[in-house]
């Protein structure tokens, strides 16, 4: 949305295609796709009942981490939940450009999803470090992706709150001139 007040033009982040701010949206979509691919591989190995590839002789022990008691929530493998989480984030990001509900609330919804994903990834990384003493490179990649997604989502929400304040100031100035 563009508004003109006293000869000045301001652009707000109403949609991801707004001028000047769509870079973070595009980056978020790319990160979410990377998360889907990363966790999709783990889901595929679970469904195919195959070993997760880890470089030979490396410090990683992917199968140990993937088969630990911490790799499930009840009967559900966390790989499935990770894939579902990344797919939900990607879905909300894509719907931001098409559905008014998500255009208004999508940034906050993505922020909530990524906050939960970031905290849960931090918990699982702590389990790897302090309980299992083993690392899964795919889990670390997922934690990194989720961390960056969380930071970008925070910036997008922060900017939208800042843009909302600027919009109300511009609106008040426009109404005062009228």
- C-alpha–C-alpha distance, residues 24 and 129, integer Å: 31
pLDDT of residue 168: 44
Give, as one character, the DSSP assignment of residue 98.
T
pLDDT for 124 equals 97
pLDDT of residue 165: 57
Instruction: Give residue 164's pLDDT.
Output: 61
Task: For residue 168, count other CB atoms closer than 10 A to its CB.
Answer: 10
pLDDT, residue 21, reads 59
Instruction: Give me the tens of pLDDT residue by residue for the chain, a chain 178 residues long.
Output: 444 444 444 444 444 445 445 899 999 999 999 999 999 999 999 999 999 998 888 889 998 999 999 999 999 999 999 999 999 999 999 999 999 999 999 999 999 999 999 999 999 999 999 999 999 999 999 999 999 999 999 999 999 988 765 444 444 444 445 4
- In CATH, 22-49+59-164 is 3.40.50.720: no
Residues 44 and 133 sit within 8 Å (Cβ to Cβ)? no
Task: Estimate the crossing angle of helix 22-48 against helix 78-95, to 10 degrees.
Answer: 150
């Amino acid at each position: 949305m563009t508004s003109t007040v006293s000869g000045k033009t301001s652009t707000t982040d109403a949609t991801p295609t707004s001028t000047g701010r769509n870079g973070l949206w595009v980056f978020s979509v790319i990160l979410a796709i990377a998360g889907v691919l990363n966790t999709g591989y783990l889901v595929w190995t679970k469904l195919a009942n195959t070993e997760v590839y880890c470089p030979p002789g490396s410090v990683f022990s992917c199968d140990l981490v993937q088969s630990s008691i911490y790799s499930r929530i009840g009967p559900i493998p966390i790989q499935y939940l990770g894939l579902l989480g990344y797919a939900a984030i990607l879905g909300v990001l894509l719907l931001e450009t098409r559905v008014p509900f998500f255009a208004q609330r999508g940034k906050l919804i993505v922020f909530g999803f990524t906050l939960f994903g970031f905290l849960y990834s931090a918990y699982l990384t702590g389990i790897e470090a302090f309980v299992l003493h083993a690392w899964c490179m795919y889990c670390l990649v997922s934690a990194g992706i989720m961390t960056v997604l969380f930071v970008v989502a925070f910036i997008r929400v922060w900017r939208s709150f800042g843009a909302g304040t600027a919009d109300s100031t511009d609106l008040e100035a426009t109404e005062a001139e009228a």
